[in-house]
């Protein structure tokens, strides 16, 4: 079978790496991909947002299954377009993707189905937002309704910060139409975990637990990023809590979406805060997490392709996913400046040395080729991943391999997983 993966980051590299191992695969394509993915798949120079072109490409080539990485094409209706042409695709329709694309929809949905989440109010203007913030007290969280590439969440600790946040959301409209409505919600305390499950619209196949590290700085300081590291398992979720989350959050969501004529096929990802009162949903995503997918793919047993194919057909049937006992970790190597404007175009060395180490894989995110030389091409550049008997082993391997890789502006957090290991 010919498979097309859409996207071009570390998540898509890890998905291609896993799918490439499938005996059912004949040819693998990735649009637009990156230089690392080029070693595994034929790259297709079409942007992930150009879904009409992608659908034409898939139809023309006889692609048997398409797997979508990023959220933007999903929320724009890529799956709807593929389905109109009878092309099999694993991902949610635009209506189902609203779970990620509209925070107001997601919060009101959780309220309707009694899914545990932070208390909230919806504000349409500055006055309503101020009133709601006063109601919750500081610290308080303000979220632009629409997609904002992970930057639309502002945690506000005092009046001066509230003023700046309201100006950014309502006056300067930094998030464009994404902030026409704003969710104001109670600030939750605890550790974050990511729970992902595959859905065929009715049934769920839960993946192993994972945790990502969103802040740029060590000790979880500084601004949020797309993620600076991840590991699986998370170890912060007991098996009892895990089952509770699957029932009360994940199954309740798939059931509710079906009830509302928004049947959810694809990856359901809940970002949760483990609070003293139990798990609370911070957000839903409608796709594989990045960088959580990298360690998850390294731990996954068996063949992913028939599972995604069955899901895309709307019935998992007997398809199952399993995970090895071993842990897996991912360290994100970025360039100075990220999450702001990062230095680009610097030559990268040492990847081959790093990859030769046992149990290590290096996935590409923002890399590029300049006259045949591999150079940095984005903020997050490489994902150095490793497995190990336990989390400490996996992290040690990932860090030892990371030390082999060089470019002038490379930066990475040295404390991924540290607190979790110390707490264990």
Kindly list the residues in this chain that would bind ligand AMP in the complex (CB under 6 A): 118, 141, 143, 150, 153, 155, 185, 187-188, 192, 214, 224, 271, 282-283
Q: How far is the CB of 210 from ligand GLY (least distance, A)?
A: 9
Q: Who's near 403: CB < 8 A, 6+ residues apart?
A: none
Phi and psi angles of residue 316, each rounded to the nearest 5 degrees, phi first? -65, -25
Q: How far is the CB of 290 from ligand AMP (least distance, A)?
A: 13
Binding track, positions 277-316, relative to ligand GLY; x by CB under 6 A: --------x---xx-x------------------------
Name the packing angle between helices 159-166 and 126-136 (round to 10°): 150
Does position 212 interact with ligand GLY (CB under 6 A)? The reply is yes
Q: And the tokens for 303?
A: 């063949």
CA–CA separation, 325 and 316 (whole Å): 24
Q: Which does 118 bind (CB under 5 to 8 A by kind): ligand GLY, ligand AMP, none?
A: ligand AMP
Q: Which does 212 bind (CB under 5 to 8 A by kind): ligand AMP, ligand GLY, none?
A: ligand GLY
Q: How far is the CB of 100 from ligand GLY (least distance, A)?
A: 9
Q: Which helix (H) or strand (E) holds 78?
A: helix 78-84
Cα angle 404, 409, 414; round to 5: 55
Q: Which is nearer to ligand GLY, 33 or 69 (CB)?
A: 69
Q: Which is nearer to ligand AMP, 42 or 220 (CB)?
A: 220
CA–CA separation, 149 and 264 (whole Å): 22
Does position 361 interact with ligand GLY (CB under 6 A)? The reply is no
Q: How far is the CB of 290 from ligand GLY (least distance, A)?
A: 5
Name the packing angle between helices 10-19 and 304-312 (round to 10°): 100
Q: Which is nearer to ligand AMP, 212 or 303 (CB)?
A: 212
Measuring CA to CA, how many Å separate 213 from each of 109, 292, 297?
A: 27, 10, 18
Q: Which residues bind ligand GLY (CB under 6 A)?
A: 150, 212, 227, 285, 289-290, 292
């Amino acid at each position: 079978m010919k498979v097309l993966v859409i996207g071009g980051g570390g998540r898509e590299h890890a998905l291609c790496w896993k799918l490439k191992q499938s005996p059912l695969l004949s040819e693998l394509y990735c649009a637009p991909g990156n230089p690392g993915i080029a070693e595994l798949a034929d790259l297709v120079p079409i942007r992930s947002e150009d879904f009409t072109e992608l659908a034409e490409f898939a139809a023309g080539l006889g692609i048997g299954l398409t797997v979508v990485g990023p959220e933007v094409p999903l929320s724009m209706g890529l799956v709807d377009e593929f389905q109109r042409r009878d092309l099999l695709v694993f991902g949610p329709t635009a209506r189902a993707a609203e779970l990620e694309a509209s925070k107001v929809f997601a919060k009101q949905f959780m309220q309707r189905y009694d899914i545990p989440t932070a208390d909230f109010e919806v504000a349409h203007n500055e006055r309503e937002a101020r009133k709601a913030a006063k109601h919750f007290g500081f610290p308080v969280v303000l979220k632009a309704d629409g997609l904002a590439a992970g930057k639309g969440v502002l945690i506000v600790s005092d009046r001066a910060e509230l003023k700046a946040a309201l100006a950014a959301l309502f006056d300067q409209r930094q998030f464009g139409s994404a902030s026409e409505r704003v969710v104001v919600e109670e600030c939750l305390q605890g550790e974050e975990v990511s729970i992902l499950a595959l859905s065929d619209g009715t049934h769920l196949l839960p993946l192993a637990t994972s945790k990502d590290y969103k802040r740029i700085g060590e000790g979880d300081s500084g601004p949020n990023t797309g993620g600076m590291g991840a590991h699986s398992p998370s170890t912060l979720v007991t098996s009892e809590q895990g089952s509770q989350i699957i029932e009360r959050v994940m199954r309740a969501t798939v059931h509710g979406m079906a009830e509302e004529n928004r049947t959810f096929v694809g990856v359901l990802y809940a970002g949760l805060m483990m609070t003293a009162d139990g798990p609370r949903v911070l957000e839903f995503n409608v796709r594989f997490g990045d960088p959580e997918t990298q360690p998850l793919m390294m731990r996954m047993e068996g063949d992913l392709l028939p599972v995604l194919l069955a899901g895309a057909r709307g019935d998992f049937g007997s398809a199952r996913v399993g995970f090895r006992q071993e842990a897996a970790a991912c360290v994100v190597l970025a360039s100075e400046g990220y999450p702001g404007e990062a230095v680009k175009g610097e030559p990268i060395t040492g990847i081959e040395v790093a990859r030769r180490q046992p149990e290590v894989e290096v996935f590409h995110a923002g890399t590029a080729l300049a006259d045949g030389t591999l150079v940095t091409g984005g903020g997050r550049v490489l994902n150095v991943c490793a497995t190990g008997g336990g989390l400490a082993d996996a992290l040690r391997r990932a860090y030892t391999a990371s030390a082999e890789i060089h470019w002038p502006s490379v930066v990475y957090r040295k404390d991924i997983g540290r607190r979790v290991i110390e707490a264990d």
